[in-house]
Amino acid sequence: MQQNTPQPERPRRPSGPACIVSLVALLTLAGITPRARASESPPAPMPLAERLAPLVRAPALSPDETGIAILLLPEGRPIFTRNADRPLLPASTLKILTSAAALALLKPEFLYQTRIFADAPIDAAGTVAGNLYIQGFGAPDLIAESWWLLAKRLSALGLRRVDGDLVADESYFDTVRRPPGWPQLAADSWYNAPVGALSCNFNVVTVTVDPSPLLGARPDLTLEPAASYFQVLNRATTTTGPNSLSVSRSFENGQNGLVVTGTIRRGSGPAVFHRAVEEPALYALHTFREIARSERIEIKGNLAVGAVPDKARELHAHESRPLGALVRDMNKNSNNFMAEMLVKTLAAQFVGTPGTTAAGLDVIRNYIAGLGIDVSGVRLMDGSGLSDEDRVPARVLAEVLARFWGDFEIGPELVASLPIGGADGTLDERFGGEGSRRRVRAKTGRIAGALTLAGYAANRDGRTLAFVVLAGRPRGTIDAVHRAIDRLVDEVVASTDADLGLNPAGAGAPPGIRPEASTPAPVPRPPSGPATTSPRR
C-alpha cells in the first residue's frame, strides 16, 4: 500500500491582533511610529516667483535694464514683475502694439485695394489711347504673383497696348520712406526697406547667385521679381575655394545699383541675398511692365509717378489678403516693412491722407490708452521696433496681451500671428525641448542694445500666462541672452497651479472641462535638403 508523503506546511498570514503587533514592531525597529508617519506632509511647492528670481540674475542679463512682467490669464493677476514700469527698448515686440491697434480698428477682414485706371476705355483693338494708372492704397503684400494677377485681369479685359505712360499714384501716404532712428548704415538691408503707398515685393529684391560650370567664369545672377529696375555689376568669380560673396545695393542719381563681388565654389548650391530697393513706386511700375509684357501687353510710354486724374475711368481693383493673414505674416517673420505700412494705413484711415508715421503712431498710442492702460512711459518712433528711440514698459505689453487673450472678436488673430516655440517663424529653433515645444507663442525682438520676447505660455496644468522679457543692454552673446530668457519662459511652462497659489486646475468645475495640457507633439526629423531662406529676424 502506497504511503502518503507529508507535504510542507504553507505559512499562514497573521490575522487579527497578531498582525497589528507585528506591524507596530516593524515600524518601531525602523524608527518610524504610526503617529509620526501620519503627521508628516509633502513639502510645499516653491512659488513660481521664487523660482524665477534667481534666473533673473543670470550673468547675461543686466539687472537694472531688464524688464519683466508675467500675468496669469484671464484675470491678468501679476505673478512676477521686475522693472516692469521702466521704459525700455522693445525691439520687434513693439509689433504687438501695432498688430493690436490694426486688428481692433481696421478689423481682421479688412482688405487693401490697388486700383487700375485709364484715360480712355479699351477700344476694339485692345488699345488705351492715353495713360494707364496704378493707384496704391498701402497694400503690403503686392508680390510678383499679385502683379501677374493684375496683368492677367487686364489681358482678360482685352488690353493689348497702352499708347501713353504707365503712372504710379502713391499719394495715399507721404513720401517719407523711413521712420526716425532707423539705421542708415544698413540702408540696403531687407529689414530696413523703405515704405510707400504703392510698393512691390516688400520693397526688396532677391538676388540669386548660381556658380558657373567653368572655373574663373562669372556666376549667373537672377533678380526677382524684376531685373529692369537695376543697374547690375557682376564682379564675382567661380572658383574651387569656399564661398565668399557680397551683394551691395547703391542708390545714385535715381538709379538702384547692385554690385556682386567675391567667389562662389563650382558645384555648390545657389547663394541667395535680399536687398532693399529705393523709390518703391517706380520699382512697382518696372515689375508690372515686365510681367505685363509676358501677358502680351505693350506699354509704349514712359514710367512716371503722378496722380490719377478725376476723369480717369477704373478698369480693375485688386484686393489683398485679409488683414488677419497679413498680420500673421508680419509677426511670424518679423517683417518691419509690413508694420510700417500698417502704421501709415491707420493714419490715412483715421486721421487723413496722406498717411504719415507720426499720425499713425498717435492712433496706436490713443488706442492703447483707451484700453485703460497707462501709456505715460510709452514713446513710439515707428511701428516695427527697429528704431533705437522707441521705449515701452514691459507691463504695457503684458497688459495688451492680457486684454487680447479675452477678446473673442480679434484676440484669436493676434494669438495665431505669433511664432510657435520649436515649430515656426522666428521661434522655430527655440523652445524645442519636450516640455516647451508648441507651448509658447511669442514675438521675438532683436536690435543693437536689446533682445526681447513677449507672448503667451501654457503651463503644465493648462493655465495660460502672458509674459514679457525686455533684456536691455545685455552683457553676453546673443545665444547667452536667448538662453537666459528662454530659461525664464521654460520655468513658466513647467509651473503648476500649486506654484501659482491656485487650487488644482479645474477644482470645483464640472467634469470634462478641466484644463489639460495637450499631448506633446513628436519632434520632426530635420529636413534632408537645404533650408529655405526668407527675409526675417
What cell does 302 get?
514712359
Report the 10 Å Cβ neighbour count for 231.
Answer: 11
Residue 161: helix, strand or coil by DSSP?
strand
Q: Check if the beta carbon of residue 114 is closer than 8 Å to that of residue 150.
A: yes
- Give the pLDDT score at 522: 41
d(CA 347, CA 362): 8
d(CA 331, CA 95): 7
Taking only the tens place, the pLDDT of each residue in 103-117 is: 999 999 999 999 999
Q: Check if the beta carbon of residue 361 is closer than 8 Å to that of residue 342.
A: no
Alpha helices in 381-459 (DSSP H): 394-405, 411-417
d(CA 442, CA 328): 12
Q: Which amino acid is at 259?
A: V
Beta carbons within 8 Å of 524's beta carbon, 6+ residues apart:
none
d(CA 358, CA 346): 10
Checking if the pLDDT of 21 tops 50, the result is: no
d(CA 201, CA 96): 23
Mean of pLDDT values over 50-68: 97
Taking only the tens place, the pLDDT of each residue in 76-132 is: 999 999 999 999 999 999 999 999 999 999 999 999 999 999 999 999 999 999 999
Q: CA triplet 233, 234, 238: central angle to 5 degrees? A: 175
Q: Check if the beta carbon of residue 211 is closer than 8 Å to that of residue 238.
A: yes
Checking if the pLDDT of 533 tops 60, the result is: no
pLDDT band of residue 44 (cuts 50, 70, 90) is low
- Give the pLDDT score at 46: 82
d(CA 362, CA 343): 9
pLDDT band of residue 40 (cuts 50, 70, 90) is low
- Give the pLDDT score at 512: 36
**Model's pTM, two decimal places?**
0.86
Peptide bond into 74 cis (omega under 30): yes
Mean of pLDDT values over 300-319: 98
Which helix (H) or strand (E) is 416 found in, with range? helix 411-417
Angle between helices 280-294 and 144-156 (to 10 degrees): 50
Q: Which of 40-54, 155-169, 268-282, 293-307 has the lowest mean pLDDT?
A: 40-54
Q: Which amino acid is at 93?
A: T
Burial class (CB in 10 A: 0-12, 13-18, 19+), 379: middle
d(CA 318, CA 334): 25
- Give the pLDDT score at 11: 41
| Mean pLDDT of the chain, nearest integer | 89
pLDDT band of residue 185 (cuts 50, 70, 90) is low
CA 207 to chain centre: 23
Q: Give the whole-number percent of the chain exceeding pLDDT 70.
A: 85
pLDDT band of residue 186 (cuts 50, 70, 90) is low
Q: CA triplet 368, 370, 372: central angle to 5 degrees? A: 85
List, in sequence order, every residue forming a beta bridge with 273; answer none if it has no partner: 207
Closest CA to 455 of 437, 443, 471: 443
Checking if the pLDDT of 142 tops 80, the result is: yes
Mean of pLDDT values over 229-254: 95
Domains and CATH numbers, the chain: 48-109+322-499 (3.40.710.10), 113-176+281-318 (3.50.80.20), 201-277 (no CATH)
| C-alpha distances in Å from residue 209, one per residue of 25, 251, 293, 328 | 84, 21, 25, 30
Q: Check if the beta carbon of residue 279 is closer than 8 Å to that of residue 199.
A: no
Taking only the tens place, the pLDDT of each residue in 416-467 is: 999 999 999 999 999 999 899 999 999 999 999 999 999 999 999 999 999 9
Encode burial over 156-193: b for 16+ CB neighbours within 10 A, e otherwise. eeebbbbbbbbbbbbbbbbeebbbeebeeeebbbbbbb
Report the 10 Å Cβ neighbour count for 151.
Answer: 22
**Torsions phi, psi for 263 (to 5 deg):** -130, 150
**Torsions phi, psi for 177 (to 5 deg):** -85, -25
pLDDT band of residue 12 (cuts 50, 70, 90) is very low
Mean of pLDDT values over 404-411: 96
Q: For residue 379, what is the DSSP state?
A: B
d(CA 243, CA 248): 16
pLDDT band of residue 253 (cuts 50, 70, 90) is confident
3-state SS, one letter per residue, for 111-143 = CCEEEEEECCCCCCCCEECCCEEEEECCCCCCC
